[in-house]
Amino acid sequence: MKPVKILCIGGSDSSGGAGTQADLKAVSFCGCWGLTVITAVTAQNTKGVLGIYPVSPEFVGRQMDTILKDTASDAVKTGMLPTSEIVQTVANKIKKYKLKKVIVDPVMIAKGGRILMSNKARTSLVKDLLPLAFAATPNVPEAEVLSKMKIKSVFDMKKAAIKISRLGVKNVLIKGGHLTGNKKSDVTDILYNGNFYEFSSKRILSGDTHGTGCTYASALAAGIAKGENIVEAALRAKIMIVAAIKNAVTLGEGYSSANVFGEIFKKSTLRT
């Protein structure tokens, strides 16, 4: 029996905490096989992104052709798409291979503040890629860009979700971790697909959130690929990311990274 396969399209994180490295860990934890298309190579550590080297659009396309002609894919998850040409290439290949279960994580800014997507790429994302998406998973700052409105509350998140859905996205999942205000309040994520669903968890007062967006979207893609409906998949992804933050791994002097493998991983890697 062949495994459920998730094609993860995005940048490589040399610290292993985010990007395609986080994608592979998340889909593996969900019992799926991760395939990758690299859109950019980064020089980064736990403190931030120090350099970005985009892969040529032609080679991004070649990677997708090579994989999809051989193994096919049960779902696609996109992450960092730094240039408009790369966005267009990915969108064209999605149409060519008639890929339907596409989860778009509109990665725009790194945890440390580095811009990961050009303005032209953002425009192309809205025009070319979002209409092909089964679901999009922006955080609050990304949702503000896509909806062209400020978000200061859960009510605002719902308004923004409606606006983003009008861009052609079937399901909009806005993650609420960036909402400012009472730090003791719950973190609420909003799913909109004509109806609203809320997924709330107790706020974890920690900066150990490197790779959470990638992990969340990849877990969602895995659930959809395995046949779960969007509500089931979103709930499982939410539970998974909360546990991953609680079990974050400290690698260097900067941000700790989400750890989907939990205490088992932490204990197995202790130095003797």
Which residue in the list 8, 30, 32, 214 is annotated as catalytic? Answer: 214
8 is catalytic: no
Which residue in the list 10, 211, 223, 254 is annotated as catalytic? Answer: 211
Which residue in the list 36, 137, 212, 215 is annotated as catalytic? Answer: 212
214 is catalytic: yes
212 is catalytic: yes
209 is catalytic: yes
Q: Which of 131, 166, 168, 163 lies closest to 145, judged by CA?
A: 163
Query: How far from each other are the two terminal CA atoms of the chain, in whole angstroms?
Result: 39
Q: Catalytic residue numbers?
A: 175, 209, 211-214
